[in-house]
Structure 1
């Protein structure tokens, strides 16, 4: 089938299409020369420092090269027609240095979005010139080490939809500046002033914020006085965080609440909260509820069973007394349940077995008794389980899933062997079963298959058998290994791998024999080494002198023998603060040369 030739009009249309297409592609490379120069000068005023960003590391300005279109640079967005820079995202860019008021940043007058979060601007004051960005809809200076007063010129940014000045180095906001901000920023939907000192701002002035506001975060702002209950009259308020304002008083209203409220955090305040049925009926949309260390008046949690949309519930560090109500089993969407540090008693209710989406369960520091219900170990999504410091008894059930990342059952009255299924938790990072006294049996060598384990504490139990020899060599992630106060026999693991992460090693109070393995010098991060109260037969381990971070060394009550000479290396035991080699069979007392060289110990004693 042949193709007919294009008509003149069709040809012209096709040419115009190609021209438009080429112009569009080219414009993406186009960058106004003054914009490019301003950005390059801004870049040169800072250094790149990996410690300047904490959450993430992405040195975006390294892609900024002279001679290339700035609109293609990392973190830069432009207007396709004019080449003006309209958005600058330099979050996590590892920028270090002072942001001066004469910075060329402030010549980018067409900016609509500016994100400088997670850098280190070295206690720079927030410049009044930020107020010149009249088109700005987003300003994020979170966690970038700004200090001083928040300038009133910020209130000139009347188009702002999102403002985040949180997490900086004690900046302050005066009442007059806040009043201007409230009056002029009528488009605000998100406002985060957490850790901005607002101690002189009257809490009631918060009720004058924009009716468009959906998210308000003011944690740790030093607010004091009466909680403004009518803040919930803001019709679109979905998230409110006023935690860690421990001078904030008053009471939480039971009516006139925003029916779209999904997240509420009043932790560590003195706001009185009455858990009445009518309050709960006004919070049907609530998904996240944080009332840690709060002034909760009614201790009956039963009404909470009506909040069926809850994903997170944190009522820890309060003064609840009695049993957990079975109605919490209605919260089938719940992923995080934290009721620790209260006075809950009785058995852990079976109704919690219906929380199949639960990922975190924290019930430590209560008065629970009875056995650990087996349904807890059958929850398919559970990753974090903390039941330490209760009165739980009985055996530990076998785990039916391998989802656990954190398990702490310490300081209870559990007995019997450690179930083998614990050693099959492939993602386990923390395992603490200490101080149950009646946990028996041997430590399976299968424990060395837990390649992500960072902390292992099985101390103060009745475990027997030999110490698995693989413990010194099985995981480069392990930083804490505590097997003290058991009945372990045999020898200390002979091989400690290079580049290991061990910081704390405690085998005190066992029946270990043999020698102290020289390979411990591979533990270059080791701060605590406690091998006391064993049956170790050896001479003084001079090789430990070279451990650069060792602060505590306990070798007491063993069968160490021979002479103890003075330091054998330069800077011997440079960080040592506690040194106990008492009750051994050494031939002479410790030479004064050691005492003269232990500078860190002398400094610690003077303190």
Structure 2
């Protein structure tokens, strides 16, 4: 048998192909399907003149092949049913010609920066079931001719610059199941026709300029609803709580959305994601949210006007992974029932009025990675670790702006040697997203024997600033190999700046300002190549400021209030040895007996993930007052960002098809 003449399907997906595109592939006379997705090393032009006229499936997503959408190409694709050119190098293109491919059932042109108006000729594609044009630069309105796409199931026009209304174009699409119109410029009320689409289960209108009230919903097919980051006002309609199949409800960042959170919300027995953050909601948090469902993964009520106490009803075997009540007016103590949230990875209770001591019971949460308790009325000593694996996976720890006192919490964050971050033993995260919020994370460590007790070294961000901590900074702080943000400012720390800080090669931000530190700035800090932010102002430091590399980029504000310092940064010349040398360091990398639970110097404020950054995410945190370190953005976006559009196509079918 002649293989070349009988071959009908060829898939070279993600094979790392490089070099010039092999145009002789299209000499195969019976080739019906070609898949070259994720071969971005291929270059050259697409040989349209050699195309097989029986080709029905063509996927060139994420390649660099130059595709010319011109007459000679389209005329050879009359049998095409599936075309994906997402994130490909499409040039010299007349998109209107695609309206001639009347057999198409699937068309994906996303991520190509197309501009101008959407071709009205797409209205000829009456067999089309899926159309993805997101992440381009289309302008104008949705063409009126689209009203004839009666077989369309999935439509995504997100992340363009579309305006106006879509009523007349879409209200006849009775089979529509998934509709994405987010990140555009629509500035009308929510179209009433949406209530007449009987099959619609995925609706995303976030990040537009929608106005008016959220009207009552008439049907109950929705599984995903995102109206976040608009200008909606009024109260949450009770009919939303009757959408019995709803799995994700995201109404964040509509600042004029008022009223209380009805306990009827707990009737949504399939709810996995609830984000009502960054609104003007009041009243108390419904107690039933702690135990009404065993599948709720994300609960984000931050940045509202909620009062009362933290719910004490979190039940055993709940599935919460993300709990955010930041920026409300909650009082009382931190509920110990949170320890029942054994899947919890993120806990943010910052910026409230909580009066309590440090909640040691939280250290038993086996998956906790982010703990933010900043800006409350917490007080007392923060003791050392109470178990060998306290907070064993913690990456971000912020207890700033409280009334904690005593020495820095030496030994508080000891953990497993297996958690030690190094080039050989990094944490690998595989995140799969359901929309912007639902995700799962799998972590593995390679080639490391578990030993107890050792320094817990997954910590990336530590903030103990604006408290009443005293005494010295422990030398063993150099054990925190993964540390990238450290803030101990606005305490009453004494002694020298430890030279062991120079071992923290990943450090990006260091704030030791407004303490009682003395002696020189260690020369070892000059070797920190990633250090972008430094503040040692308002101490009692003296001697020459290190020079070279990053230290040459810092201005006088980083060192002000230290009259004994000299160097070009403070416009004061150094003469001889102007300060005493530091005492010999007793730091021993093998000594794990003490450890500081340090802090990160940025002010962490959660804003609505539902409005476009990490958990919907969209984004996330305001870092170091105004700066966001790149590592943190990557971490949050990878885990919680809706912008994973490739995943979104499958998500659109999640509710009804279970894909």
The reply to whether TM is greater than 0.5 is yes
> Is the 8 Å Cα contact of residues 501 and 525 (structure 1) preserved in structure 2?
no
Decide whether the 8 Å contact of 1:272 with 1:297 is kept in 2.
Answer: yes
- Counterpart in the other structure of 2:470: 440
Q: Secondary structure at the match of 1:448?
A: helix
Q: Matched residues in 2 for 1:274 and 1:529: separation?
A: 46
Query: Is 1:221 matched up with 2:195?
Result: no
Deviations 1:406-426 (A, max 9, x none): 111110011222333437342
Offset at 1:433? 1.4
Q: Which residue of 2 aligns with 1:415?
A: 405
Q: Which of 242, 245, 249 does residue 227 from structure 2 map onto?
A: 242
Q: 2:519 and 2:241 mapped to 1: Cα distance?
A: 69
Contact 2:244 2:269 in 1 (8 A): yes
**Aligned CA distance change for structure 1 residues 395 and 172 (closer, same or farther; 3 Å):** same
Aligned counterparts, 1:166-185, within 5 A: 166-168=158-160, 170-174=161-165, 177-183=166-172, 185=173
How far off is 1:351 after superposition?
1.0
Deviations 1:9-48 (A, max 9, x none): xxxxxxxxx56x76553553864899x9xx9xxxxxxxxx
Matched pairs, number? 494
Match of 2:351 in 1: 365
Per-residue deviation, 1:228: 2.2
Cα distance between partner residues in 2 of 1:98 and 1:389: 56
Mapping for residues 113-262 of structure 1, pairs under 5 Å? 113-121=106-114, 123-168=115-160, 170-174=161-165, 177-183=166-172, 185-209=173-197, 211-231=198-218, 233-234=219-220, 236-253=221-238, 257-262=242-247
Alpha-carbon contact 2:283-2:305 (below 8 Å) kept: no
Distance in 2, matches of 1:391 and 1:239, equals: 38
**Counterpart in 1 of 2:518?**
489
Report the Cα distance in structure 2 between the residues aligned to 1:98 and 1:191, rounded to whole angstroms: 29
Distance 2:349 2:90 in 1: 42
- Change in 2 beyond 3 A, CA 1:111/1:420: farther
Q: Using the alignment, how far apart are the partners of 1:85 and 1:60 within structure 2?
A: 25
Match of 1:588 in 2: none
- Residue 496 of structure 2 corresponds to residue 515 of structure 1: no
Q: Distance in 2 between matches of 1:142 and 1:524?
A: 44
Please say if residues 469 and 492 of structure 2, whose CA atoms lie closer than 8 Å, have aligned partners that are also in contact. Answer: yes
**Relative to structure 2, which stretch is displaced further, 148-157 or 410-419?**
148-157
Give the superposition deviation at 1:524: 7.1
Within-5 A mapping of 1:85-124: 85-93=80-88, 95=89, 101=95, 109-121=102-114, 123-124=115-116
Measured after TM superposition, the shift of residue 193 of structure 1 is: 0.6
Of the three residues 283, 294, 299, the one matched with 1:313 is 299
Given that residues 460 and 485 in structure 1 are in contact (C-alpha distance below 8 angstroms), is that contact kept between their aligned partners in structure 2? yes
Superposition deviation, residue 115 in structure 1: 2.9
**Deviation string, structure 1 residues 108-138 (Cα, Å, up to 9, x no partner):** 55443333334433x4332323334333322
Shift of 1:525: 6.6
Cα distance in 2 between the residues matched to 1:493 and 1:425? 25
In angstroms, what is the RMSD of aligned CA positions?
Answer: 3.7
| 8 A Cα contact 1:535 1:559, kept in partner | no
Q: Which residue of the other structure, out of 491, 495, 501, is the alignment partner of 1:471? A: 501
Which residue of structure 2 lines up, in the alignment, with residue 551 of structure 1? none
Seen in structure 2, the aligned counterparts of structure 1 residues 72 and 216 have a Cα distance that, compared at 3 Å, is closer
> Structure 1 pair 511/523, CA: closer, same or farther in 2 (3 Å)?
closer
Flag the 1:447–1:113 CA change in 2: closer, same or farther, 3 A. farther
CA contact (8 A) 1:61 1:74 kept: no
Distance 1:238 1:406 in 2: 33
Structure 2, unaligned runs of 5 or more: 11-23, 64-75, 415-454, 577-659
CA distance in 2, matches of 1:91, 1:523: 44
1:202 deviation in Å? 5.0
- Mark the runs of 5 or more structure 1 residues left unpaired by the alignment: 1-17, 40-56, 545-554, 563-607
Q: SS state of the match for residue 195, structure 1?
A: coil
